[in-house]
Amino acid sequence: MFDKIYFKKNLIILLFSISIFFSSVNFSYIELRFSYLFLIILIFFEESLIKKLQQNKTKLLIFFCIILLIHHYLNNILNFNKSPIYDFFSLSVLFQILIIGISIYLINYFKEILLSNIKKLFDFFIYIFLILIFLYNLANKGIIFDTLYKCDLGFFL
């Protein structure tokens, strides 16, 4: 039988593990450090979303995003940028603040699952890493086994 809660918890842990440990890996223009952002879809499909949005946490998140915008604006003025008003409303700044806000909300929303399954977070990393090493070895005709038995070579690419 398919357990929906077990699958949801493992998906949350897997996506956070990928985003933490494989943060410098790009997969066709998508950086894996942002893979946990797909969890926002899980929140939208929950029945208690309206109750969660009415809590003080959401108000605190909006307040934090406004503080980030004000900080960015003041930083531009104090550093004597030529166009602080234009840069204040730039799409990249708003997008960065949105990503930071969503990240804070997701970490706060799933903190019980993450804190209770820290060991699983590391286990997923080890499993994924070993599978990727094995696939890399198959694709490059035993390069890892050659490297392990020769003392003058290393994994310096």
Per-residue pLDDT of the chain (157 residues; tens, 9 = 90+): 568 888 888 988 999 998 888 888 887 777 888 888 888 887 777 656 555 555 666 666 777 777 777 777 777 667 666 555 555 566 677 777 778 888 888 888 888 999 999 999 999 999 998 888 888 778 877 676 666 666 655 555 4
**pLDDT score of 157:** 46
Residue 122 tokens, joined: 């590391």
Distance CA 11, CA 44 (A): 16
**pLDDT score of 80:** 63
CA dihedral of residues 132, 133, 134, 138 (deg, nearest 10): 100
**pLDDT score of 122:** 93
Question: Which pTM does this prediction carry?
Answer: 0.68
CA dihedral of residues 118, 123, 128, 129 (deg, nearest 10): 100
Question: What's the residue count for the chain?
Answer: 157
3-state secondary structure of 117: coil
